[in-house]
Amino acid sequence: MTENYDLIVIGGGSGGLAAAQRAAEHGAKVVLAEPARLGGTCVNVGCVPKKIMWNAAELGSALQDARDYGFQVETGPVDWRTLKGKRDAYIEQLNGIYAANLAKRNIELVRARASFVDAHTVGAGGRLLRADHVFIATGSRPRLPLIPGAELGITSDGFFELAERPQRVAVVGSSYIAVELAGIFAGLGTQTTLVLRGDTALKAFDDMLGEVALTMLRDDGVEIVLNAIPIELRRVAHGALELKSRDGRVLGPFDCVLWAIGRGALVAGLALERAGVGLDIQGFIANDKYQVSNVPGIYAIGDVSGRAQLTPVAIAAGRRLSDRLFGGQTGRHLDYENIPTVIFGRPPLGTVGMSEKAAGERYGKSDLTVYRSSFLPLYHTLTAAKPRSQMKLITAGSEQRIVGLHVVGPGADEMLQGFAVAVRMRATKKDFDDTVAIHPTSAEEFVTLR
């Protein structure tokens, strides 16, 4: 027997949960299918546990800095098992909270994998579910390289399964995930190597961020290997791993090799062909600015849509989609421009708006005015470590509207949110100049740049 609903949500990650709850708040009858832990990548193997590990690495540095401030501090290696145990317990608590939130809104949760029967019917747990609207929010998963021995390495998912801290690690990739995990490993005392296929990191971001990211990793003791294209990962004596590159170099030995080379849409098993849903050239579900796939009534939100793979983006897109379909808010959709992003390097890197290169292509280089600042934060005037903060404002046109804002340094993650509002509201350099600075802070640099 087929059971009828207003909305079927496939996937219980951030986007699926947010969309389901918003639709239910508008009065829709909703069912959500998810076989794994609720919360998806972000809660279980992404943002939340990563930030906890980042916090631990930051505390390690703070203990060293405390000596420079006159404290008598005894330091030692991190107790990885204790850290992992407390982290995992917190994540389990979040899983329960998500389930309770669904129940509170009368959203039916089916603990099973779902697949399409036709464009409006889904099979899950031996049941047939039907709705006029189906949201696909199954997320993404880390990619492995197509080389011999790739399975000997781990991905970011595997990072959170490590029972012990490895002594020697290679992180392969130039993405923000690679930069973050390399910094966390190093901050927690692991001998870390970052392996890049090219000669820079963070290629999707402003050049300043990529340059500074490598500098700060080197300053933290990370070995940076450039222009190394992996062709084989192999196990050698005593269980160690060696990584061979195309040019003949052999890197290692390592106790762990972590691949951070990108993520692909998690669509296997959905039987999309039965519904006629098409994929783009990269394997993500093709969709328009309203999240609608090529099949009316079927939508893609979050990582599976191939756009801005960030948790707040999935949440925002899902809520707007439910507002439009069930809340009568005609035309509501997510604007994918000016999305603020923070990379939790050490220190963190933040960006909103366009890179200098992208702004030059859109407005013309001659129409841009770029402001930069490099300074030593007050906190580090007393520490042995002397990481410099970096800031960049990119403005366009005679009114000098701010079209890009980029920052590296302590507090970048917190200060960026407010500045992102200003950029979205089309603030100009004069607006920044006319704002009274808060002193002494790093953030004040943005309103005093000359």
Give start and end residues of each alpha helix (H) in 160-310.
176-187, 207-219, 272-275
CATH of domain 2-142+264-326: 3.50.50.60
For residue 364, name the pLDDT band (cuts at 50, 70, 90). Answer: very high
> Average pLDDT, stretch 346-374?
97
Give start and end residues of each alpha helix (H) in 226-328.
272-275, 311-326
Residue 231 has pLDDT above 90, yes or no: yes
Rg (C-alpha) for the chain, rounded Å, is: 23
**CB within 8 Å of 360: residues ≥ 6 apart:** 368
What's the confidence (pLDDT) of residue 304?
Answer: 98
**Of 3.30.70.1400, 3.40.1030.10, 3.50.50.60, 1.10.10.10, which CATH number belongs to 150-261?**
3.50.50.60
Separation CA 387–CA 384 (nearest Å): 10
What distances in angstroms separate CA 14 from CA 62, 171, 188, 438, 445, one per listed residue?
32, 27, 29, 35, 34
What's the confidence (pLDDT) of residue 207?
Answer: 97
**CB within 8 Å of 370: residues ≥ 6 apart:** 356, 392, 393, 394, 395
Tokens 């080197």, located at residue:
218
In CATH terms, the fold of domain 347-447 is Enolase-like; domain 1 (3.30.390)
For residue 237, name the pLDDT band (cuts at 50, 70, 90). Answer: confident
> Average pLDDT, stretch 156-172?
98
What are the two backbone dihedrals, phi and then psi, of residue 371, each rounded to the nearest 5 degrees? -115, 135
Buried b (16+ CB within 10 A) or exposed e, 15-35: bbbbbbbbbbebebebbbbbe
Active site residue 439: yes
Tokens 């939340």, located at residue:
48
**CB within 8 Å of 89: residues ≥ 6 apart:** none
- Tell me whether the CATH fold assigned to 2-142+264-326 matches the one assigned to 150-261: yes
Peptide bond into 347 cis (omega under 30): yes
Dmax over CA atoms of the chain, in Å, equals 72
Residue 109 has pLDDT above 90, yes or no: yes
> Average pLDDT, stretch 323-352?
97
> Average pLDDT, stretch 350-356?
97
Domain ranges of the chain: 2-142+264-326, 150-261, 347-447
Among the listed residues 120, 133, 238, 439, the single catalytic one is 439
Q: With pLDDT > 90 as the criterion, what percentage of the chain qualifies? A: 99
What are 195's two structure tokens?
A: 């392996």
List, for residues 56-107, the tens digit of each pLDDT value.
999 999 999 999 999 999 888 999 999 999 999 999 999 999 999 999 999 9
What's at 165, amino acid-wise?
R
What's the confidence (pLDDT) of residue 218?
Answer: 97
Tokens 């199954």, located at residue:
138
Average pLDDT, the chain: 97
